[in-house]
Amino acid sequence: MNVNVKGKPTGATVLSSRSLSRSLLLRPLASSDLPAVAALIGRTIDTAYPPHYGPGCIAHFREHHSEANILEDAAEGCCVVAEEDGAIVGTGTLTGAHVRRVFVEPSGQRRGIGRAIMRELEARAAASGAALVELASVLGSRAFYEALGYVVRELKSYVLPDGEEMRFYIMTKLLLPSARLIP
* Among candidate residues 51, 139, 141, 62, the one with its CA nearest the CA of residue 102: 141
* Residue 88 three-state SS: strand
CB 131 within 8 A of CB 176: yes
pLDDT exceeds 60 at position 179: no
Share of the chain above pLDDT 90, in %: 81
- Model's pTM, two decimal places? 0.84
> pLDDT digits over 10-26, tens only?
455 554 444 444 689 99
pLDDT of residue 24: 92
pLDDT of residue 23: 86
* Residue 73 three-state SS: helix
Q: What is the mean pLDDT of residues 126-135?
A: 94
Residues in Cβ contact with 68 at an 8 Å cutoff, skipping those fewer than 6 apart: none
Asked which of 71-80, 135-144, 151-160, 174-183 is least confident by mean pLDDT, the reply is: 174-183
CB 138 within 8 A of CB 52: yes
Average pLDDT value over all residues in the chain:
87
Residues in Cβ contact with 148 at an 8 Å cutoff, skipping those fewer than 6 apart: 115, 118, 173
The domains of the chain, with CATH numbers, are: 13-130 (3.40.630.30)
